[in-house]
């Protein structure tokens, strides 16, 4: 876990490295960083792919940074650029934010998420036993976003419970018949007629059981069918008519894969956030590496009570108790239901895990 003895800053800066190590020591155990980033305070002679060049004032001239990534941080704004990716943040930061950035990079966070945490860091936090940033007021805002919808999306229960994500209306009907209250239709098809029929049939099943039935991606068809809600990915937000969705009274769930995307999603005032992928999953190609339980626990600590949260990605009956122990109010499952030898038995066991946890919470409250 030691940062000393390796090149963390360029030019070499022993004092910065020592402070970074003090901060890192208070952040707990994390997987070793997959990239050993070097934070460059001046332009290196030959910028490399593992260099993160920091400018704290406007550049006087344009020059090539090669394969290096760049952070420009001044005037209350910090922008991270790498290849074709750009992440812009606004807010305040402490004098030792660069030390904190080095520490969070060493915790194996991607640079844009490490930058969010570094901006949320406050001088003196390294004196705390648990120094992880959890005060939402210190976190930056994502900049350069389109306007949020005219009003917030309708609310949904804070704890959505067991949340199966299902491939067909037949599955939706079968699972809702087993007293599941929340489900999502993720129908992968280019057949317009099939899609319309599947969504209408699923929405009808949701109404029959008074369940929270979300439609993945296909927001126009979901509006036409009168669905309870829609679930969108990060890439869908700017190409979907969010005002049309909110005017139709549908709830909105948004996928997130880290701190930056969580802050970005909150700008649009959704009904819930999905946090993932917690574990490796084969149901879809993920844009980021698995988050793991430790990160999930940190996300919940920051956002619980602010917006309903759903854990998603590789969750089955074996890991569900550990997932729920983080305090998240819902867990989405896919293969744990659709590939189970016996659907009824699988759903019953998953629901029992939620019931047992709720019983434990109520028992603790009553003490």
User: What would the mean pLDDT of 296-311 be, rounded to a whole number?
Assistant: 97
Per-residue confidence (pLDDT) for residue 312, from 0 to 100 = 97
Per-residue confidence (pLDDT) for residue 305, from 0 to 100 = 94
Predicted confidence (pLDDT) per residue in 146-166, tens digit: 999 989 999 999 999 999 999
* pLDDT of 2 strictly over 90: no
Predicted confidence (pLDDT) per residue in 11-68, tens digit: 999 999 999 999 999 999 999 899 999 999 999 989 999 999 999 999 877 778 999 9
* 289-313 per-residue burial string, b: 16 or more CB within 10 A, e: under 16: ebbebebbbbbbebbeeebbbbbbb
CA distances 172 to 18, 68, 200, Å, are 55, 48, 11
Question: How many Å apart are CA 107 and CA 331, to the nearest integer?
Answer: 25
Which of these CATH numbers, 3.40.50.150, 3.20.20.70, 3.40.50.10190, 3.30.1330.60, describes 161-366? 3.20.20.70
Predicted confidence (pLDDT) per residue in 327-355, tens digit: 999 999 999 999 999 999 999 999 999 99
Question: How many Å apart are CA 160 and CA 248, to the nearest integer?
Answer: 21
Where residue 362 falls among pLDDT bands split at 50, 70, 90?
low
Question: How many Å apart are CA 24 and CA 122, to the nearest integer?
Answer: 14
User: What would the mean pLDDT of 243-261 be, rounded to a whole number?
Assistant: 98
Where residue 272 falls among pLDDT bands split at 50, 70, 90?
very high
Where residue 125 falls among pLDDT bands split at 50, 70, 90?
confident
User: What would the mean pLDDT of 292-314 be, rounded to a whole number?
Assistant: 97
Per-residue confidence (pLDDT) for residue 285, from 0 to 100 = 67
Helices (H), the chain: 14-25, 97-106, 111-120, 169-176, 192-209, 219-225, 242-247, 259-266, 292-303, 320-324, 335-338, 343-366
Predicted confidence (pLDDT) per residue in 185-216, tens digit: 999 999 999 999 999 999 999 999 999 999 99
User: What would the mean pLDDT of 236-260 be, rounded to a whole number?
Assistant: 97
Average predicted confidence (pLDDT) for the chain:
94
User: What would the mean pLDDT of 284-312 be, rounded to a whole number?
Assistant: 91
* pLDDT of 225 strictly over 70: yes
* pLDDT of 367 strictly over 60: no
pTM: predicted TM-score of the whole model, two decimal places:
0.95
Q: Domain coordinates of the chain in residue numbers? A: 9-142, 161-366
């Amino acid at each position: 876990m030691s940062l000393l003895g390796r090149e963390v800053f360029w030019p070499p800066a022993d004092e910065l490295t020592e402070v970074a190590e003090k901060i890192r020591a208070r952040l707990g155990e994390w997987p070793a960083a997959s990239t050993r980033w070097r934070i460059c305070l001046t332009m290196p002679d030959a910028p490399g792919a593992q260099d993160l060049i920091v400018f704290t004032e406007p550049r006087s001239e344009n020059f090539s940074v090669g394969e290096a990534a760049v952070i420009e941080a001044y005037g209350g704004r910090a922008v991270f650029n790498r290849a074709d990716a750009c992440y812009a943040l606004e807010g305040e930061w402490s004098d030792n934010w660069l030390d904190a950035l080095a520490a969070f990079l060493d915790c194996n966070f991607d640079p844009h998420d490490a930058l969010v945490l570094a901006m949320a860091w406050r001088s003196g936090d390294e004196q705390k036993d648990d120094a992880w940033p959890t005060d939402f007021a210190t976190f930056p805002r994502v900049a350069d976003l389109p306007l949020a919808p005219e009003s917030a999306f309708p609310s949904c229960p804070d704890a959505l419970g067991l949340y199966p994500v299902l491939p067909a209306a037949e599955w939706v009907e079968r699972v809702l018949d087993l007293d599941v209250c929340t489900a999502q239709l993720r129908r992968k098809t280019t057949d317009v007629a099939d899609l319309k029929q599947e969504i209408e049939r699923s929405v009808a099943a949701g109404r029959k059981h008074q369940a929270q039935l979300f439609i993945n991606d296909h927001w126009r068809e979901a509006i036409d069918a009168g669905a309870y809600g829609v679930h969108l990915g990060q890439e869908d937000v700017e190409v979907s008519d969010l005002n049309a969705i909110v005017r139709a009274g549908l709830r909105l769930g948004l996928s997130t894969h880290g701190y930056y995307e969580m802050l970005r999603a909150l700008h649009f005032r959704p009904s819930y956030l999905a946090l993932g992928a917690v574990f490796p999953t084969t149901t879809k190609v993920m844009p980021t590496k698995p988050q793991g339980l430790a990160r999930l626990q940190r996300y919940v600590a920051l956002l619980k009570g602010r917006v309903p949260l759903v854990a998603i990605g590789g969750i089955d009956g074996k890991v569900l108790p550990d997932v729920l122990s983080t305090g998240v109010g819902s867990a989405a499952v896919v293969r744990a239901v659709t590939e189970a030898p016996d659907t009824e038995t699988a759903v019953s066991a998953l629901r029992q895990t939620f019931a047992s946890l709720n019983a434990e919470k109520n028992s603790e409250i009553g003490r």
